[in-house]
């Protein structure tokens, strides 16, 4: 009788389950925080933790222009990766990971408040994926972007490298949900952004407790978190199923004299 393999299998299963269980609890906590906190009208904002919903508008800082689709936006993240090798030796190399953001107004008809999205957690946004290579359908705009970032897209024998470009943006003029910490402005803030003169408070960057922003509003944020919960549950079930099979096999084998 040898039950050591069975014990190892069970221990591995417990270890693999820790992170999914922790993630499910964390996501459910985030959902509860959003649903239990009442949105505040911009005109009634005070210092402290707040949740607001409204239309994203430009400040005097202006807009960013997303690098591939050329869309005016308040935030974009653009990444370029290359698939190298095949089979077990296949790996993904990150060639570019670029993130930019500018301050913006949230307008909910009761007033406008400035939000600084620097370092914010983006819950939902508009995403696009572009590919070169054998099965890609690249555009001239994509090639122009690669050239502007000094990325060589040409491969051997006149073929294109297998590159994947992902662009995530939050465009202006769209409904957004913001969860952050509001505070009173100071003289330094006014020098950076004159529009703050019209507001008693604003939502600055917060690297210790990052502001959360969702394109599409509060329901979009909750929906995204719920989707992640169900995906994590599915992964946990798969882990438990596979571990259960191996545990049963090792137990049967281990009980044999």
Q: Is the pLDDT of residue 28 over 70?
A: yes
Rounded to the nearest integer, the mean pLDDT of the chain is: 87
The mean pLDDT of 191-197, rounded to a whole number, is 68
In this structure, of 5-14, 16-25, 45-54, 226-235, the range with the lowest mean pLDDT score is 5-14
Distance CA 218, CA 34 (A): 8
Write out pLDDT tens, residues 38-75.
888 888 888 888 999 999 999 888 899 999 999 999 99
Per this entry, what is the length of the chain?
257
Domain spans in the chain, listed from the N-terminal domain onward: 1-36+221-257, 42-216
Write out pLDDT tens, residues 80-97.
998 887 777 788 899 999
For residues 156 and 167, the model is more confident at: 167
Q: What is the pTM of this model?
A: 0.83
The pLDDT of residue 101 is 93
Reported as a pLDDT band with limits 50, 70 and 90, residue 190 is low
């Amino acid at each position: 009788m040898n039950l050591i393999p069975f014990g190892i299998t069970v221990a591995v299963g417990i270890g693999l389950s820790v992170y999914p269980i922790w993630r499910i609890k964390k996501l459910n906590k985030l959902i509860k925080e959003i649903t239990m906190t009442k949105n505040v009208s911009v005109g009634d904002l005070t210092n402290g933790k707040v949740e607001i919903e409204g239309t994203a508008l430009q400040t005097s800082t202006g807009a960013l222009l997303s690098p591939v689709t050329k869309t005016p936006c308040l935030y974009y993240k653009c990444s370029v990766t290359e698939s190298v090798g095949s089979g077990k030796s296949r790996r993904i190399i990150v060639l570019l990971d670029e993130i930019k953001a500018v301050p913006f107004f949230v307008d909910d008809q009761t007033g406008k408040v400035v939000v600084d999205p620097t370092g914010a957690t983006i819950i939902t946004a508009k995403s696009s994926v572009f590919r070169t290579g054998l099965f890609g359908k690249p555009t001239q705009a994509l090639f122009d972007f690669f050239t502007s970032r000094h990325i060589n897209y040409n491969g051997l024998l006149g073929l294109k490298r297998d590159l994947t470009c992902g662009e995530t943006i939050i465009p202006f003029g769209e409904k957004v949900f913001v969860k952050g910490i509001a505070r009173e402005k100071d003289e330094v803030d006014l020098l950076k952004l004159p529009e703050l003169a019209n507001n008693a408070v604003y939502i600055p960057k917060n690297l210790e407790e990052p502001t959360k922003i969702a394109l599409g509003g509060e329901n979009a944020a909750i929906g995204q978190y719920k989707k992640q919960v169900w995906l994590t549950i599915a992964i946990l079930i798969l882990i438990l199923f596979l571990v259960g099979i191996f545990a049963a096999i090792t137990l049967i084998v281990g009980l044999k004299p």
